[in-house]
Structure 1
Amino acid sequence: MNIFITVGAQLPFSRLINIFDNDDFSKILNIKAQVGNDFNIYKNIETFRFLNESEYNDLIHWADIVVSHAGMGTIITCLEYDKPLLVLGRLADLNEHRNDHQTDTMSSFKDKFHNIKVFFNEESFVSFFSEVIKCSDFRILFSKGDAVSDFNSKSLDNNLSRFISDYIKNEK
């Protein structure tokens, strides 16, 4: 199984990367990660500090599953390509970000799209990912029946605009 982890370009997110940097996963997974300004050495993951748009898109297409922080760019890309996405947000109290806006983003996307699964703690993330690994066809864990709504490439722009507009209205 091919896993692409992306943490964005602004801040490192070693807590997420460390979940995957273990000998057990390296035996059964092919893991590549865009780690930003993270200077740690990961022994079981092929890392890239930064990727250009073409390299990033190639890795999105290569991956069976994308794993990410709660970055809107990755979320939108995975919606557009109907790519399974696991999200674990950065937390301000762990000094991973300035505030907890990623938690707010995750709350907005929780249970809304069949291909996006959000996790508010490492334990639930690892528990779900363990099920993914055990499953002979992990795609059933991302079945369309689980979603409140779905995007397709033809309606992505309109649906996304409406979703963002509704989100902004509800925040005021």
Structure 2
Amino acid sequence: MDPQVLPRRSRLLLVASTGGHLAELMLISKLIEARPDSHWVTFDHDQSRSLLGDRTVTHVPYVAPRSLGGVLRALPTFVRLLRRERFDAVVSTGAAVAVPALLVARLFRCEAHYVESVSRFSGPSLTGRILQRVPSVRLYTQHEQWVGRRWRFDVSIADSFRAGERRELPPGPPRIFVTVGTIRPYRFDALVDRVKAVLPADAEVTWQLGSTRRTDLPGTVLEHVSSEEFDRLAREATTVVTHAGVGSVIRLLELGARPVVVPRRASRGEHVDDHQLETLEALRRLDGVVCREAGELSSEDLVPPGPRD
């Protein structure tokens, strides 16, 4: 295989965390035309079960960000898979689960490819920096501006950051869908508290809260939703308030939703770092996307402009 590009039309072991990493890998697998008999490894979750459908999937124990224990617990799964089956290459978009997958790939002399998240506009994540230390892992950025040293550019889903055709908003009172993603164990109370404080009195609201478990909220409160349920809630909403996770944002743009995007902040313990700020800056140029910090949200942001029936 060409060492400068990802493998095309090959039988791959495709590895990613749930959430945005899995959504990105789904898009990249289409760009490189991964064979239908490729094998997926991710976490057992509503999103992965609905998104991957009838594909061949192995669930690996959850690997939390920066968790050495999680990395060690995942190793036997990849040893069993690579001992039992033959793959042309292992391809991962991260996050931490990429480390055991690609290390075991090299142990079995299988090509190992790591594609950094499109949310990393200026340099690699911690996972990327760790894998830089493994000489035989092939590394790819999705942004040409930081190609260099060991980082190549091949494919990118950056073009997915574009506004889709705006759909007609449903009539009636505001219908608000709040989605804060699935990353564990990080909460996003700053966003939830602010939405609760500025929520219009007549609004109908559904919350998808992940690890931000709450019992004090109006409306419908869900921990996780399937991909199908996410799409339905987004289509029915007049406004979707979302964290600046690339998987959520890209899907909302595809659906023609009206997203209000709020970044998680590392200083509040909401994520491992502030890479969601880079995603927010990339979205500011798009018409119809409202970009706010949590404390800036207002009731006007939650209600789309124009007359309501």
Normalised to the residue count of structure 1, the TM-score between the two structures is: 0.69
Q: Give me the whole-angstrom Cα distance separating, in 2, the residues matched to 1:121 and 1:21.
A: 12
Equivalent residue, structure 1, for 2:276: 102
Q: Give me the whole-angstrom Cα distance separating, in 2, the residues matched to 1:18 and 1:133.
A: 17
Q: Decide whether aligned partners of structure 1 residues 20 and 45 sit closer, same or farther in structure 2, where only a CA change above 3 A counts.
A: farther
Q: Give me the whole-angstrom Cα distance separating, in 1, the residues matched to 2:212 and 2:301.
A: 28
Equivalent residue, structure 1, for 2:288: 115
Q: Give me the whole-angstrom Cα distance separating, in 2, the residues matched to 1:58 and 1:26.
A: 22
Q: Percent of aligned pairs with the same residue?
A: 23
Q: Decide whether aligned partners of structure 1 residues 38 and 117 sit closer, same or farther in structure 2, where only a CA change above 3 A counts.
A: same
Q: Decide whether aligned partners of structure 1 residues 131 and 55 sit closer, same or farther in structure 2, where only a CA change above 3 A counts.
A: closer
Equivalent residue, structure 2, for 1:37: 211
Residue identity matched to 1:84? R
Equivalent residue, structure 2, for 1:3: 176
| Structure with the larger helix share | 1
- Describe the SS at the equivalent of 2:193: helix
Q: Give me the whole-angstrom Cα distance separating, in 1, the residues matched to 2:192 and 2:294.
A: 14
Q: Is the 8 A contact 1:65 1:83 kept in 2?
A: yes
Which of 182, 189, 200 is 1:14 aligned to? 189
Using the TM superposition, give the Cα deviation of residue 17 of structure 1 relative to its aligned residue in structure 2, in angstroms.
1.2
Query: Which residues of 2 match residues 160-171 of structure 1 at below 5 A?
Result: none
Q: Decide whether aligned partners of structure 1 residues 90 and 132 sit closer, same or farther in structure 2, where only a CA change above 3 A counts.
A: closer
Residue identity matched to 2:193? N
Which of 54, 58, 64 is 2:232 aligned to? 58
Q: Decide whether aligned partners of structure 1 residues 6 and 131 sit closer, same or farther in structure 2, where only a CA change above 3 A counts.
A: closer
Q: Give me the whole-angstrom Cα distance separating, in 1, the residues matched to 2:278 and 2:306.
A: 33
Q: Is the 8 A contact 2:239 2:257 kept in 1?
A: yes
Equivalent residue, structure 1, for 2:132: none
Q: Give me the whole-angstrom Cα distance separating, in 1, the residues matched to 2:279 and 2:201.
A: 33
Q: Give me the whole-angstrom Cα distance separating, in 2, the residues matched to 1:134 and 1:78.
A: 16
Query: Which residues of 2 match residues 61-72 of structure 1 at below 5 A?
Result: 61-72=235-246
Equivalent residue, structure 1, for 2:39: none
Q: Decide whether aligned partners of structure 1 residues 85 and 46 sit closer, same or farther in structure 2, where only a CA change above 3 A counts.
A: same
Cα displacement string for residues 82-124 of structure 1 (whole angstroms, at most 9, x for unaligned residues) = 21100111111111111000111101111x211211113512x
Q: Which has the higher contact order (CA 8 A, sep 6+)?
A: 1
Q: Give me the whole-angstrom Cα distance separating, in 2, the residues matched to 1:67 and 1:25.
A: 11
Using the TM superposition, give the Cα deviation of residue 53 of structure 1 relative to its aligned residue in structure 2, in angstroms.
1.1
Q: Give me the whole-angstrom Cα distance separating, in 2, the residues matched to 1:33 and 1:88.
A: 15
Length, aligned pairs only: 133
Q: Give me the whole-angstrom Cα distance separating, in 1, the residues matched to 2:277 and 2:205.
A: 25
Equivalent residue, structure 2, for 1:170: none
Residue identity matched to 1:122? G
Using the TM superposition, give the Cα deviation of residue 68 of structure 1 relative to its aligned residue in structure 2, in angstroms.
0.6
Residue identity matched to 2:196? D
Using the TM superposition, give the Cα deviation of residue 77 of structure 1 relative to its aligned residue in structure 2, in angstroms.
1.3
Q: Is the 8 A contact 1:2 1:62 kept in 2?
A: yes
- Describe the SS at the equivalent of 1:27: coil
User: Runs of 5+ in structure 2 lacking a partner?
Assistant: 1-173
Normalised to the residue count of structure 2, the TM-score between the two structures is: 0.40
